[in-house]
Every structure is written in C-alpha cells, then in structure tokens.
Structure 1
C-alpha cells in the first residue's frame, strides 16, 4: 500500500524550472531554451539584427523615438544571443 515513490520527475513549477541543474546566471534561461541553446542563440542574433536594421531605417527617416526603441531591442537581443552561444560553447561535451 505505501510503496516508495519511484517517480524522479521534478514536481511543480519550481522543480520543473530547476531541471536540468544549471549554475549561476544560467538559471535565468528557460529550461526548454536551455536544452536548445544554439538554436535560440542564432534566432536571437537574427532577430536583433533585424531590429537594429529597423532602427537604422528609422534614423534615416528622422523618427528618433522609434529608432531608439528598435536599437535598444536589437542590442538586447544581440547580447542575449551572444550569451546563449557562449554558454552553449562552454558546456561540457555530451556523451
């Protein structure tokens, strides 16, 4: 009746977020994104480039508010993509 619980799956949102175990700042990365870091890193860099290009176009037309918005979004996405790719490269090889 009272068999031991052999289910080792993470329980609840906190357990789901903690798997797989990650050090330090890498805990901020969504677990699903963490398991596909290279794809999400490349996607963020591509999106950041598109946003930066939109910012440059807005600058050319003199719309400085929108230009600042798109340039900030582009810079954040480029930085995030670079971070994802750096974390992916520094991960130990899978066996």
Structure 2
C-alpha cells in the first residue's frame, strides 16, 4: 500500500472515531447523513427504516459527540435539518 493510500485510509478511519462506540442506530444515521448534505428527522427515519424515536435518540447521541449539527429549516420552522460534521 502506498503512503498516500495509507494516509488517506488513516484519515478516513480517524474521521469516524467519535461514533465508533455509539449504538448501531447512531452509526446508521451518521452514514445516511454522510450520503446526503442534510436531512430532517422524518427523512432520516424513512431512509434508515428506523422509528422516529430511535432516530431522535441517535441524533441526540451524535450531537453529544459533536458529529451532527442541527438548524431550523427555512421551509418549515417546526423541523430541524441535521448535517454531519465529521
């Protein structure tokens, strides 16, 4: 393996370090947010097939470790948009 590939692999694995010890549901939500720029809780539930309660708990855990940020949706102020910060 070349030094560049090894460094890239190391950076990639370090990127996910904050979520390594989290439950599988939180990891799934993080991976889905990695695929999309931002999603609402309902969109995350639909994409992951998790309940909205489980998504809410997963997002809360991800926010606790600094892996996710939320902001109010401009389209609907009742909804939060979640973004992966890793």
Larger radius of gyration: 1
Shorter-normalised TM-score: what interval? 0.3 to 0.5
Structure with greater strand share of residues: 2
- TM-score, scaled relative to structure 1: 0.34
Higher helix content, 1 or 2: 1
